[in-house]
């Protein structure tokens, strides 16, 4: 078996790159006949995203981003007609694992994409590794996932938003930082990543607190401690519905304007910003994408996404769009709907032209990409994330 390390080195030394203009596409639907490749030249792809629970809004964005790519490319990926089997990840490791198990064993898909939760991602590693079915994840990417052969991510590594931001905060905040994050893998990864660059740059930690997930809806006791701590800034990690409540209570409890608020970009990404309203204004976040990035492919993507959803695309949508592109290129290169051949072809893709800008695979199957500092501002009467600086490249 070719290892991820070997595949990565082969990709770096390949004589030529895969053509990035390959066609692709598909439509969402339910299961069909058994087997990943049908007699009429179709391919089954599992789309595993939340359709219920606290992360449903993220799942909706991921589904829409995947659909945009498919709709742009005549309902084929790599020359094969696509049948997408949609599965509800839910909000727990158990619900996500059950949905993934059904996709692989009952629906017999050739490849799976999606996955929001790090707990779900950790829980399905053995399923995909033993089944030898590729998973091209488009969100969750725990730091512990470093040696899988059949799992790729078009998003990031969980600690990278924090790592991108840590040194900047250390250099621009005159005082200590208080940490508040959801008590699960992604929250701990973000704080760890932040400290990875924050502490060497001279940053001072006041306290580090994790709130029970997903049970915590009243953040005021935690915010009271932060307010009394004397910290000059606070770094947080929340997403989905929890992000709405956290930001609103941050404002209601008097921390907005008193303690500078920094976070991984998920805090104000997408529909949650509408729910947060004016409470989010002035919040700083680190993210690998923003809808206003100035490149031709992003302009086209934003236009298509807005036409489909009547809202600007998020990083979740963009990463799912890129996952479809990765599959398009890999299926074309493999020349068949064979999971192992597609997995090998994924590792041999040397560059992906993306709405975020061109990126390459890291050694562990995640993007090497640029990160941006954003601030929530009012633009033409609407609150939005605005890029105010670059934070450098991570993922190498």
| Domain range annotation of the chain | 4-156+293-365, 160-287+372-394
pLDDT at 55: 87
Banded pLDDT at 83 (limits 50, 70, 90): very high
296-307: per-residue pLDDT in tens? 999 999 999 999
105-117: per-residue pLDDT in tens? 999 999 999 999 9
Percent of the chain with pLDDT over 70: 90
Q: Tell which CATH classification among 3.40.50.2300, 3.60.70.12, 3.20.20.70, 3.30.420.10 matches the domain 4-156+293-365.
A: 3.40.50.2300
Helix (H, G, I), strand (E, B) or coil at 286: strand
Mean pLDDT of the chain: 90
Q: Is the pLDDT of residue 1 over 70?
A: no
Cβ pair 145, 175 in contact under 8 A: no
Mean pLDDT score, 361-370: 96
Cβ pair 317, 60 in contact under 8 A: no
Banded pLDDT at 366 (limits 50, 70, 90): very high
Tokens of 146: 């470093």
Do domains 4-156+293-365 and 160-287+372-394 share one topology? The answer is: yes
**What is the DSSP pairing of strand 284-287 with strand 367-379?**
antiparallel
pLDDT at 317: 98
pLDDT at 185: 85
Q: Is the pLDDT of residue 125 over 50?
A: yes
Which bin fits 79, alpha (ψ -120 to 50), beta or left (φ > 0)? left
Q: Which fold has domain 160-287+372-394?
A: Rossmann fold (3.40.50)
Cβ pair 47, 114 in contact under 8 A: yes
22-63: per-residue pLDDT in tens? 333 333 443 334 444 444 699 999 999 999 988 898 999 999
Whole-prediction pTM value?
0.85
Mean pLDDT score, 289-294: 95
Mean pLDDT score, 153-164: 96
pLDDT at 40: 60
* DSSP conformation letters of 194-222: HHHHHTTTT--EEEEEEE-TTT----HHH
118 vs 213: CA distance, rounded Å: 13
- What phi, psi does 103 have (nearest 5°)? -60, -45
Q: Is the pLDDT of residue 21 over 80?
A: no
Q: What is the DSSP-derived secondary structure letter of residue 18?
A: P
pLDDT at 39: 41
264-276: per-residue pLDDT in tens? 999 999 889 999 9
Banded pLDDT at 20 (limits 50, 70, 90): very low
pLDDT at 375: 97
Mean pLDDT score, 236-259: 95
Cβ pair 220, 251 in contact under 8 A: no
Percent of the chain with pLDDT over 90: 85
Cβ pair 140, 152 in contact under 8 A: no
Among 137, 138, 195, 198, residue whose Cα is nearest residue 172: 198
pLDDT at 396: 63
Rg (CA), the chain: 20
Q: Is the dihedral of CA 93, 290, 309, 114 positive or negative?
A: negative
* DSSP conformation letters of 224-284: HHHHHTT-SEEEEE--HHHHHHHHHHHHHTT-TTTSEEEEEGGGG-TTHHHHHGGGGTT-E
User: CB count, 10 Å around CB of 221?
Assistant: 10
Among 93, 115, 92, residue whose Cα is nearest residue 46: 115
Q: Is the pLDDT of residue 177 over 70?
A: yes
Q: What is the DSSP-derived secondary structure letter of residue 129?
A: H
């Amino acid at each position: 078996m070719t290892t991820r390390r070997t595949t990565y080195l082969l990709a770096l030394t390949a004589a030529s790159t895969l053509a990035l203009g390959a066609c692709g596409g598909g439509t969402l639907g339910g299961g069909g006949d058994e087997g990943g490749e049908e007699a009429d030249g179709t391919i089954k792809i599992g789309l595993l995203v939340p359709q219920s629970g606290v992360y449903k809004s993220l799942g909706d964005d991921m589904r829409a981003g995947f659909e945009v790519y498919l709709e742009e490319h005549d309902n084929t990926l790599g020359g094969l007609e696509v049948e997408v089997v949609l599965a509800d990840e839910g909000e727990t490791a158990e619900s996500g694992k059950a949905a993934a198990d059904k996709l692989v064993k009952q629906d017999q898909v050739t490849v799976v994409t999606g996955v929001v939760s790090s707990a779900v991602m950790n829980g399905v590693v053995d399923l995909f590794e033993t089944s030898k079915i590729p998973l091209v994840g488009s969100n969750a990417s725990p730091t512990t996932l470093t040696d899988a052969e059949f799992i790729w991510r078009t998003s990031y590594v969980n600690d990278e938003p924090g790592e991108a931001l840590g040194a900047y905060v250390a250099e621009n905040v005159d005082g200590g930082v208080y940490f508040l994050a959801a008590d699960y893998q992604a929250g701990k990864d973000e704080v760890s990543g932040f400290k990875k660059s924050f502490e060497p740059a001279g940053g001072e930690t006041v306290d580090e607190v994790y709130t029970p997930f997903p049970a915590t809806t009243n953040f005021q006791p935690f915010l009271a401690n932060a307010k009394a701590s004397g910290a000059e800034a606070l770094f947080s990690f929340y997403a989905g519905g929890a992000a709405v409540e956290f930001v609103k209570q941050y404002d209601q409890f008097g921390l907005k304007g008193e303690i500078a608020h920094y976070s991984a970009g998920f805090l104000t990404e997408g529909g949650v910003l509408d729910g947060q309203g004016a409470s989010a204004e002035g919040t700083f976040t680190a993210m690998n994408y923003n809808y206003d990035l100035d490149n031709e492919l992003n302009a086209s993507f934003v236009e298509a996404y807005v036409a489909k959803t009547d809202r600007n695309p998020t990083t979740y949508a963009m990463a799912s769009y890129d996952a479809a592109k990765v599959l398009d290129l890999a299926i074309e290169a493999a020349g068949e709907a064979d999971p192992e051949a597609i997995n090998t072809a994924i590792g041999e893709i040397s560059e992906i032209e993306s709405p975020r800008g061109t990126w390459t695979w890291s050694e562990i199957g995640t993007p090497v990409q640029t990160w941006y500092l954003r601030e929530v501002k009012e633009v033409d009467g609407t609150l939005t994330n605005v890029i105010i600086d670059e934070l450098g490249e991570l993922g190498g």
